[in-house]
Amino acid sequence: MSQTVKPVNQKAWWLILPVCICVAFSAIIPLMTVVNYSVQDVISPTRSVFVGTEWFASVMQDSALHEALVRQLGFSLSVLAIEIPLGILLALCMPATGWRASAVLVLVALSLLIPWNVVGTIWQIFGRADIGLMGRTLHMLGVDYSYAANPTHAWLTVLLMDVWHWTPLVALLAYAGLRSIPDAYYQAASIDGASRFAVFRYIQLPKMRGVLMIAVLLRFMDSFMIYTEPFVLTGGGPGNATTFLSQYLTQKAVGQFDLGPAAAFSLIYFLIILLFCFILYSWMQRVGTQDKGPAHE
């Protein structure tokens, strides 16, 4: 007895046409424009000369770019090293049920609602030695703190500002992962007499791996593209202490109006982010596979 093959309706593809059009205008067309500028020497609005990969070679030999890249990597890795463990700890301390859980969730998420430029302004005032709570307190304790004059203080202030602003995002993701763990796992651990650390190591941490991977990738990408907060707080100074890759690109494109080198660097910047995200994702996948291996054998 032959079966009747039901015809496939392909009209559903029309539903994603508006999305494709929006993506084309918001991402693909601007990207192609940047690619065009990266191989052109723009002499005037109506005249340009094809230069091939000259701008890419020029940007890659720029020592200021190398310094900004090292500075950016140090900042992003520091952000991950602080915010991921701190976010997990905060999620573990948050209540699981009741009105306290709702209240704590709202309080934790408050910093995420503040616009980036306002965050920079808040910490600009917060760190002032005359009226700022942190700056004034440190001076009263005998610490000669000045984020406007000391490069180390400026870098640490930007790092502390980012930790304050974005650790709640990691905490909320980790909290969601914790709440998705069935109670049966905790009951089995209680019967076996597992310690609190054992429950965290063998139950909670493996079950949070998915959301933690998302948190790591989000925080790395966002910290690697940070611009507004340090620009408002320090303007990239003192010197170049807080001049990250995004500020370097802005100086090229807006300050010096070097459209060719700026376009070439923006493509390199994009590829750097993709490369490091791929490395992080592959490493976390490999770690997860190794942790699951003995349990399945």
Domain residue spans of the chain: 22-296
- The pLDDT of residue 209: 86
Topology annotation, domain 22-296: MetI-like fold (1.10.3720)
Torsions phi, psi for 185 (to 5 deg):
-65, -45
Q: For Cα atoms 121, 127, 130, give the angle at the middle one, nearest 5 degrees.
A: 110
* CA-closest candidate to residue 56, choices 275, 279, 296, 272: 272
Pairing of strands 47-50, 40-44: antiparallel
Confidence of residue 166 (pLDDT cuts 50, 70, 90): very high
Confidence of residue 296 (pLDDT cuts 50, 70, 90): very low
SS3 for the chain, per residue?
A: CCCCCCCCCCHHHHHHHHHHHHHHHHHHHHHHHHHHHHCEEEEECCEEEECCCHHHHHHHCCHHHHHHHHHHHHHHHHHHHHHHHHHHHHHHHCCCCHHHHHHHHHHHHHHHHCCHHHHHHHHHHHCCCCCCHHHHHHHHCCCCCCCCCCHHHHHHHHHHHHHHHHHHHHHHHHHHHHHCCCHHHHHHHHHHCCCHHHHHHHHHHHHCHHHHHHHHHHHHHHHHCCCHHHHHHCCCCCCCCCCCHHHHHHHHHHHCCCHHHHHHHHHHHHHHHHHHHHHHHHHHHHHHHHHHHHHHC
If one compares 293 and 254, the residue with the highest pLDDT of the two is 254
- The pLDDT of residue 26: 80
Q: Average pLDDT in the 20-33 region? A: 82
Note the pLDDT tens digit of each residue in 31-50.
888 888 888 887 776 777 88
Q: 207, 180 in Cβ contact below 8 A?
A: yes
Residue with tokens 């930790």: 163
Above 60 in pLDDT, residue 19?
yes
Q: Average pLDDT in the 241-255 region? A: 83
Note the pLDDT tens digit of each residue in 124-157.
999 988 888 898 999 899 888 989 889 999 999 9
CA distance 216 to 279: 12
Q: Average pLDDT in the 266-272 region? A: 87
Above 80 in pLDDT, residue 258?
no
pTM of the predicted structure, to 2 decimals: 0.82
* CA-closest candidate to residue 55, choices 67, 34, 41, 42: 41
CA distance 235 to 255: 13
CA distance 59 to 256: 14
Choice among 38-42, 69-73, 116-120, 195-199 with the minimum mean pLDDT: 38-42
Above 70 in pLDDT, residue 175?
yes
Above 90 in pLDDT, residue 85?
yes
- The pLDDT of residue 295: 43
Name the token pair of 69: 């890249």
Residue with tokens 């890795």: 77
